[in-house]
Structure 1
Amino acid sequence: MDQSNVTLERMRSFVRVAERGNLSAVAREMNIGQSSITRHLRELESALGVALLSRTTRRVTLTEEGRRYYAHAVQILRLVEQAGEELRSDAAGTVRVSCTAALGVRHVARLIFAFQDRHPGISVDLSLTDERIDLVREGVDIALRLGPLADSSLKLRPLGVSRRVLVAAPGYLARHGRPKVPGDLARLDAIRMSNIAGADVLVLTGPEVVRVPVTGRLRVDHGLAALEACLAGRGFAPAHLWLVDDLLADGRLEVILPGYTPPPVALNMLIVPERAGVARIRLLVDFLAREMRGVPGIGGPPLTTR
């Protein structure tokens, strides 16, 4: 093995290709040509004397030797990054964050602005999506997620729960009447989520737990669209308090059946374990964990999500 040709640059290219499985995506991410990525991989394999990747026309996968080398390479690159950061007076670099879209628009973006004001050397790439992405493959360091989580090797930091209420526009309620008991919801139009299983049955917690079948002419696959439908008087919907607190305060929406609420939803932060010790990532994780407690409706003990 020619160790002089095993450079950090070639190792970084290999690690990102191993994680993303796509040379062109890594080239865009690293802002270099795809031919440079291909050359890095070829030179690294030549220096090691083994094939690390198996290439087809559609994707790139790791060989058995590649899997073993990847585990070591990730550790080496993490140690190199941390060693460099310990010499700097302030953390610097980029943190990649993924967040549930509506929560990101309403609150997380604002918190990131405040974080960057405190740490001007830190750049943040914020991706807003409700898709459950593979953090490692997409190069994401931190993800904020609502709802149950699948088992994974990611580091989990529970942030608490997100409380919800039933809301509707005053005009809609004036036309159709305000429900007095959960059964009254059956005669109203429910704005249902097409991407959530069981949205045709509303579970409410009050003096007792009730399950109310609901119907309506509108289904949407995004919380912000459901909010707009409520404001337009198309029906009622369950909503996170952080999404509607200002609209409730100015009277554009009303809480219906205040004695009955949909169950709260777990809010968690996921962190790629190999990145958790990086100073800038640790700073943002601690900042978000602290500041998210001030978001309306976020609080209470964490729910069991696994």
Structure 2
Amino acid sequence: MRLPDLEAWAIFAAVVEHRSFSGAAEAIGLSKATVSKAIGRLEAHLGQSLFHRTSRRLALTEAGRPLADHAARIVAEAHAAEEAARDAASAPAGRIRLAAPMAFGIANVAPLVADFLLAHPGIEIDLHLSDARVDIVAEGFDIALRIADLPDSSLRARRLCSIAGHIVATPAYLAKHGEPTHPGQLGEHRLLGYSNVTGPWRFQGADGTEVSVRVAGPLTANSGDAMLPALLAGLGITRLPGFIVGAHLESGALAAILRDWTPAPVGLHLLTPPSPLRPARVEALIAFLADRLRDPCAARAA
């Protein structure tokens, strides 16, 4: 049996990451000729080209695109295996890349990161806050927190808690347009949508009745914070979690409606790359976040 050319796969991953042969060569400390030979060797073994090459541009072929993910995973698993061996003989140390949604990350994750770093002085965390959906494998994240209904994927996912949503509007909007008392009446109103949670809004009544409402209105955004100005300006009704609208509900700037109906909660998930091999430092942060976000998360969302 012929063994896989792991060096060529690792070099292929480096070329994809740095988008050039010369950039990959400089990053991994090899000559450009060595990098080129490794790619040629891998292409010959696979029987297909991995890159379109011109004097100005390097792009993956149709065959190369899916193989780039495989290459990234091969390299990640090799690094994880090496780090696991080192970690077994020492306290967890090194860098962790963590992604989280913007508003939730500021309110809930950033304070926990500080606590974790105080307890683990040998660990560094690169915290990336964005409401855009990151590609964990391609962008090199060790952990991502995501508030969403997750589609099937190869990622490893763990549900930490449910995020309750509030249906809210300004008192001025409700005075002008009327306050709906049944989810079915929302179709008569202007609804502001959150694009990271797809599909209709779903509700359950006290008697178990289920109702779905299609979201349509003047604004759809991938950030709950970005929806607030339009909401506070009285442009419509929306569904947002307590960690975004809680202060506005307390001040009276917003009012919660349809309190007799329970919006379907959205899960907070912890995602990791598909490999079961993880450095001890990553395992430590996973355990810490799973413990600290389980109950406090529910409390903050209330």
Shorter-normalised TM range: 0.7 to 0.9
2:245 paired with 1:250: no
- Between the aligned partners of 1:116 and 1:68, the Cα distance in structure 2 is 32
Give the equivalent residue in structure 2 for 1:205: 204
Q: What do the CA deviations read for 1:95-146 (whole angstroms, capped 9, x no partner)?
A: 1112233322332223222222222322112223344433222111111122
Q: For residue 60 of structure 1, report the CA deviation from its aligned partner.
A: 5.2
SS at match of 1:145: strand
Alpha-carbon contact 2:143-2:271 (below 8 Å) kept: yes
Q: Using a 3 Å threshold, how does the CA distance of structure 1 residues 270 and 206 change in structure 2: closer, same or farther?
A: same
Q: Partner of 2:140 in structure 1?
A: 139
Contact residue 143 and residue 270 of structure 1 kept, 8 A? yes
Q: What residue identity is the alignment partner of 2:240?
A: A
User: Runs of 5+ in structure 2 lacking a partner?
Assistant: 44-49
Say which of 16, 23, 27 aligns to 1:21: 16
Contact 1:169 1:233 in 2 (8 A): yes
The 5 Å alignment of 1:1-306 reads: 15=10, 17-18=12-13, 21-24=16-19, 34-37=24-27, 40=30, 42-43=33-34, 51-52=41-42, 54-57=50-53, 58-59=58-59, 75-88=77-90, 90-193=91-194, 197-198=198-199, 202-207=201-206, 208-212=209-213, 215-274=216-275, 276-293=277-294, 294-296=296-298
| Cα displacement (A) at 1:213 | 5.2
Q: Unmatched 5+ residue regions in structure 1?
A: 1-5, 28-32, 300-306
* Cα distance change, pair 34–68 in 1 and its aligned pair in 2 (3 A): closer
The two structures, once aligned, show a CA RMSD in angstroms of 3.9
Residue equivalent to 1:3:
none
After superposition, give the CA deviation of every residue in 1:11-49 in whole Å (9 maximum; x if it has no partner): 6x963752782324899xxxxx55414762754787x89
Distance 1:20 1:127 in 2: 24
TM-score w.r.t. length of structure 2: 0.74
Distance 1:187 1:69 in 2: 51
Contact 1:94 1:122 in 2 (8 A): yes
Aligned to 2:144, the other structure's residue is in SS state: strand
Give the match's secondary structure for 2:151.
Answer: coil
1:15 and 1:74 in contact (8 A); partners too: no
* Structure 2: distance between partners of 1:25 and 1:93: 28
Q: Tell me which amino acid in the other structure corresponds to 2:105.
A: G
1:225-249, CA deviations, whole angstroms, 9 ceiling, x for partnerless residues? 2233222322211112332233323
- Aligned partners of 1:259 and 1:49: how far apart in 2? 62
3-state DSSP of counterpart to 1:268:
strand
In the superposition, the TM-score normalised over structure 1's length comes to 0.74
Other structure's SS at 1:137 match: coil
